[in-house]
Structure 1
Amino acid sequence: MIVKKKLTLLTFTTILAVSTLLAGCSSNNAGGSASSAPSETPKVAKAPSSSPGAEAGDKWVLGAKPLSFTAYSHYGDIDFPKWDSKPAGKWLKENKQVDITMITANGLHEQKLSTMISSNDLPDMIWTQRDDPMVEKLRLEGKLVAYDDYLDKYPNLKTWMGDNLNFLRADDGKLYRFPNWYTGRPAGNAGYVVNKKIYEELGSPKLETTDDLYDYLVKVKEKYGNSITPLELHMGQNVQGFGVIYTAFGEGTLYSYLNRDIRGVPKDNKLTSLFTDPVFREAHKYLSKLFREKLISQDAFTQTQDNVKEKVLAGRVAVYASSSPTVFAMEGHNVLTKNDPNAGYFMIWPIHKAGLDKNKIYPGTYTTLGWNASYITTAAKDPEAIFAFLDYMTSPEGMNLQFFGPEGEYWKGFDADGKPNFTDKYNAEEVAKLQKENDAIMFAGNTGYIDPAKMKLEAALPPEKQNWSARYQSTITWPTQYDVTEFIQISPSPDSELGIMQKSFDEFFLQVYANVITNTKSDAEVDQVLDKAEKDAQALGYGKILEYRTQKWQENKAKIAGKK
């Protein structure tokens, strides 16, 4: 689904952002004031009462009358497509009178939103990171709509997210975020994809440790030269694939430690500097070596997602690591196997440094709160109607529409657990195509519902007939993702003194990160660069930022433990 640092579920997804996710990688944080431990995923015996129909009382019912609004994706690498160019959007426009005008930024998202703010010409809905600084400024200026009055009226979000919804509340205690891909169960797709044909041509060697991986990449380069990228690390400018490699060098080392909203390493209940962390240093000596030996794309920090996608779909990568490699790998697998049944991609258990416990390596993370969020601005003429629409999209009926199409063809009705009853017409290839096309407009995803719903069908199929992503999610990615809900919303306000320091530090960090991988010629030089980076970072206020985040992190842990 569309996320920065992305939480792709059982389907082909965009990135991105996964995140954006992950984007960039995005934040793994969200706001919070109240607390509770993650609730059990609720069971739904039938389609929720908010299903569309005739309008009743003062409650907005989807389809009872036209709903038109504008929506904007505030990401540098993700623009919303034309609404009715996607199957779900087309169906909703034709059958439920929903018409969304998508506003694009064409890569200039910061400038685009700044212009809209300065001209007071805001979109009705903004979809972005849960704690984007520019959107937080809008909240502080009173230009976002609070959702509290809608939660009981349109109950899907509240039902499925439970008390964890309180973690998304702003400092004023109100709720402004409608989360995307929230869950009460492990989710995510980070890890490693391997080109099957190349792997078998090289003798199917062991690929378990970082030493194994290095030896394999060398063999790829020796055999295929420049025609194949030995290791494709997704979106270097967002620290994506590089972050996956980082996790291989320490038990319990998390990809999220590199993210903008943490950028620190927990030690003795404190967040400490990445630059002085031995695991960080060892991992980046390894990455520097791979880069200077041309085992990694030499344009890893500048190439676009389209560049990566083209290589994966063409089979021109031997190993592909990302916060959500299933995004392109499933499509690539389907493309390659059409022409050659022995081609395609498969996933492997996460790589680990020799001597470490492979079951304590976590290449990806998730939070119960998902990755990004939708905000409704005060420019909206009918914010309640937009919230009702988002609540429908996150409902069982809305999720099934996006994943399996309108009720009647591939699914009909619900079983006792609220999962869809699939019909005899179900066509896995057509459903995969449908999910891929709808991916770009999945901005109110409900992971807790759709993952078990999808697995109901997949579990009954033999492995070779299962959805490519679903097979590896159930066996590899979900068991190896780590819950980082305790690290949500630990960054200072962007307008505060610390917030300004953080912005300067973030720019500095990304410069150092790229430099230590692409411009160092030895392990000793890596240490020199990081030694200097530590001194410069402290001068920028890095230590103060870590102290603030440590305090907020400890408060979150207390909330989760039920002590606040």
Structure 2
Amino acid sequence: MKKKLLSILMVMMMAATLLSGCGKPGSTKNDSKPADSKGESSTTEGAADAGGAKKFDDVKLKMLICWNGGFKTASDQYNNEVAKKIREKTGVTVEFEGIMMSETEKLNLMFASGDMPDIINAPYWGGSAGETAVIKKAATEGRLLPIEDYLPNYPNLANSYDVGIVSQSYLENDLNFKGFDGHKYILPQETPGDTADVTNWAYGVFVRGDVLKALGIDPTTIKTSDDLYNFMVKAKEHGFKDVNGNDTIVATTYHNGWDSSGYSINLSDKKFSNYIKQADGTYNYVPLTEDWTNRQLFIWKLVNQGLLDVECFKQSDAQADEKVGNGTALFASAQYSSVINSTKLTGLYSAHPEMKYVPVGPMTYKDGQPLVQLEQNGRAGSPAIIFPSTCSNIEAALTYLDYINSEEGARLCQYGVEGDTYTLNDAGQPRLNSDLLARKAEGDSSVDDELREKGIGYILGRTLQADKRFTWWGEIGAGDADAAPQEMVEYKKARPVERADGYPLEGLVVNYKDYDKVKKFAFEGTTMDDYEQRAYFAKTEAEARSILEDYQKYLLTQDNGIFKDYLKYVTESANSRDDILD
């Protein structure tokens, strides 16, 4: 009898063990650890007694940074100071690699081949963006791991989904996409932890300072597209040279024409959506309007008259860095940080301080209102981190990310080791050592290289979730409070962030019954870009206008004219609630 009872008890214990294993959150056949992983050890300090983040025994993971242009890391990603400290806390090391190709193409190739890393960082702008569609498809086809059951154990990641950090529409339509069937696959990144942490991207048009001096122009007087055009014509006629004594180009952009729209922004309205309310109360799609046509014709005029770089629509960031870094482009339209970084790569300002790029304007909207950076209350699209089904240890990956997103971990990644590269000020905020700050203030780009070799900067840049750096430390980037270029500080004041509560119209129109049909011909792919660029290179304005009108006809005639019915739904959606942002 005793033997029988003992046998029953053993069977029950074995069954309980099996059930426990089956109930592990998100477990799949791919949850096994890699060959160099030695399993888990004690729970990390501060973790809950039951569950919570665990410390691992030298787990190594691979993370792909899926952004065209490559990704600079420390030459030794395992033994640098920051990586060692993270490993002491978590037992995990993540090694990063970048790409030099289209983000959408890379994602498609990976998911089709199944040759995927442990973690991926990629664009997830939401809506009809190409990368978003690929990632959603991968999730619904089982190529990504769901993370919702793990999140309660990682408090520094769990709040990434709070409204205010992300927008209500982004949460409903993209992070909690209905095709996910209640699972969470997307960890939104670079979102604001609080209002003070909203990143001011400082978009604009920037011009070499010596151009202003030679032509006697006050850049703050340039408010309209006509002002800018006249300024560019004078600059072209003057015959400026670059640092090597070569002929210059008047204006350029960064990769694939980003951001040529900055040159024509004065011809636009201050708005959140791509839909505009007409006099009769109905809504129209902006590319179907005369205002859109006029905006593209302005770019045509710049190209046609040799004012805008003909290569800019196909060039890489590396090519743009060379043109801006050598002062070959008199004007550049992008984020100010991109322009400043290009000049650091070449040391332009050290040899030619007179060529320092300064902001034009800022210009105004069509109605004369000054430009601002319009933001929803919570980010409406973001970079994101996803976990392929090939992830060898999802818990180790989340433990790593959770630590980096703690104040302690983020400080380590941004400033390094206290006493070595930073000290605390009287307010208890980390500040880079004075010698490093002095070199940064002088524009010495080798400082960033030296810090990167220690592991500082590159890790946090692609793993930060709800960004609280300003709230925590009073500065977004290391050195900003003491060594940020003064022209950048002033420009951000001139073109500030403006947030608004409300629900974007784009978040409702996706519910149109045939939205997938509309999306394929109207919003996905490069069709609009192709028509625009054909128009830019047309020989005459009449030819350019005809090409743009052909695109408008294309929209209205596809799939038996379904776009007209779609616009009726847009109008209905806009009138369905009183908090619409359009």
When the two structures are superposed, what TM-score results if normalisation uses the length of structure 1?
Answer: 0.73
Q: What are the within-5 Å matches in structure 2 for residues 396-475 of structure 1?
A: 396-411=407-422, 420-422=429-431, 425=434, 427-428=436-437, 433-434=447-448, 437=452, 441=459, 442-446=461-465, 448-452=467-471, 455-456=474-475, 466-468=484-486, 471-472=489-490, 474-475=492-493
2:497 matched residue in structure 1? 479
**1:74 lines up with 2:66 in the alignment:** yes
Cα distance in 1 for residues equivalent to 2:297 and 2:53: 57
User: Offset of 1:380 from its aligned partner?
Assistant: 1.3
Cα distance in 2 for residues equivalent to 1:370 and 1:476: 25
- The residue type paired with residue 448 of structure 2 is L
Cα distance in 2 for residues equivalent to 1:265 and 1:409: 53
User: Offset of 1:72 from its aligned partner?
Assistant: 2.1
Q: What are the within-5 Å matches in structure 2 for residues 174-323 of structure 1?
A: 174-183=183-192, 184-185=194-195, 186-187=198-199, 188-205=201-218, 206-224=221-239, 227-235=247-255, 237=256, 240-253=258-271, 264-267=274-277, 272-322=284-334
User: Offset of 1:453 from its aligned partner?
Assistant: 5.0
1:145–1:176 Cα contact (<8 Å) kept? yes
Give 5+ residue unaligned stretches, structure 1: 1-50, 258-263
User: Offset of 1:327 from its aligned partner?
Assistant: 1.9
* SS across alignment from 1:148: coil
User: Offset of 1:53 from its aligned partner?
Assistant: 4.9
1:128 matched residue in structure 2? 122
- The residue type paired with residue 475 of structure 1 is K
2:389 matched residue in structure 1? 378
**1:117 lines up with 2:111 in the alignment:** yes
Give 5+ residue unaligned stretches, structure 2: 1-42, 127-131, 241-245
* SS across alignment from 1:525: helix
Give CA deviations for 1:126-168 in whole Å, capped at 9, x if unaligned: 2222242222111111232222223332112334663355442
User: Offset of 1:543 from its aligned partner?
Assistant: 6.7
**Matched residue count:** 492
User: Offset of 1:443 from its aligned partner?
Assistant: 1.7
Taking every aligned residue pair, what percent have the same amino acid on both sides? 17
Cα distance in 1 for residues equivalent to 2:543 and 2:481: 51
1:154–1:391 Cα contact (<8 Å) kept? yes
Cα distance in 2 for residues equivalent to 1:68 and 1:507: 38
1:138 matched residue in structure 2? 138
* SS across alignment from 2:239: helix
Q: Tell me which of 340, 343, 349 is aligned to 1:329.
A: 340
**1:531 lines up with 2:549 in the alignment:** yes
Cα distance in 2 for residues equivalent to 1:397 and 1:344: 37
* SS across alignment from 1:309: helix
* SS across alignment from 1:145: coil
2:259–2:333 Cα contact (<8 Å) kept? yes
- The residue type paired with residue 517 of structure 1 is Y
Give CA deviations for 1:84-103 in whole Å, capped at 9, x if unaligned: 43889933432323433445
The structure whose Rg is larger is 2
Cα distance in 2 for residues equivalent to 1:404 and 1:527: 53
1:24 matched residue in structure 2? none
Cα distance in 1 for residues equivalent to 2:404 and 2:573: 33
Cα distance in 2 for residues equivalent to 1:512 and 1:384: 47
* SS across alignment from 1:118: helix
Cα distance in 1 for residues equivalent to 2:159 and 2:235: 50
User: In the superposition, relative to structure 1, how do residues 425 and 87 fare at CA in structure 2: closer, same or farther (>3 Å)?
Assistant: farther
1:148–1:175 Cα contact (<8 Å) kept? yes
* SS across alignment from 2:314: coil
Segment of structure 1 superposing worse, 180-189 or 130-139: 180-189
User: Offset of 1:71 from its aligned partner?
Assistant: 1.9
Cα distance in 2 for residues equivalent to 1:310 and 1:462: 29
Give CA deviations for 1:438-468 in whole Å, capped at 9, x if unaligned: 66552233574124556559999999x5445
User: Offset of 1:422 from its aligned partner?
Assistant: 3.0
Cα distance in 2 for residues equivalent to 1:52 and 1:412: 26
User: Offset of 1:520 from its aligned partner?
Assistant: 4.8
Cα distance in 2 for residues equivalent to 1:215 and 1:368: 37
When the two structures are superposed, what TM-score results if normalisation uses the length of structure 2?
Answer: 0.71
Q: Could you say which structure has the greater relative contact order, defined with CA pairs below 8 angstroms and 6 or more residues apart? A: 1
User: In the superposition, relative to structure 1, how do residues 414 and 338 fare at CA in structure 2: closer, same or farther (>3 Å)?
Assistant: closer
Give CA deviations for 1:361-409 in whole Å, capped at 9, x if unaligned: 3477675255210101221122122122223333333433343333444
User: In the superposition, relative to structure 1, how do residues 342 and 162 fare at CA in structure 2: closer, same or farther (>3 Å)?
Assistant: same
1:232–1:296 Cα contact (<8 Å) kept? yes
User: In the superposition, relative to structure 1, how do residues 497 and 211 fare at CA in structure 2: closer, same or farther (>3 Å)?
Assistant: closer
Segment of structure 1 superposing worse, 432-441 or 141-150: 432-441
2:60–2:93 Cα contact (<8 Å) kept? yes
User: In the superposition, relative to structure 1, how do residues 448 and 178 fare at CA in structure 2: closer, same or farther (>3 Å)?
Assistant: same
1:502–1:542 Cα contact (<8 Å) kept? no
1:193–1:329 Cα contact (<8 Å) kept? no
Give CA deviations for 1:204-245 in whole Å, capped at 9, x if unaligned: 34322222211111111111267222222333x3x5322223
User: Offset of 1:552 from its aligned partner?
Assistant: 8.7
Q: What are the within-5 Å matches in structure 2 for residues 46-57 of structure 1?
A: 53=45, 57=49
1:157–1:395 Cα contact (<8 Å) kept? no
Cα distance in 2 for residues equivalent to 1:534 and 1:460: 48
Cα distance in 2 for residues equivalent to 1:88 and 1:559: 53
- The residue type paired with residue 179 of structure 1 is P
1:395 matched residue in structure 2? 406
- The residue type paired with residue 436 of structure 2 is N
User: Offset of 1:189 from its aligned partner?
Assistant: 2.3
Q: What are the within-5 Å matches in structure 2 for residues 64-103 of structure 1?
A: 65-75=57-67, 77-81=68-72, 83-85=73-75, 90-97=80-87, 98-103=92-97
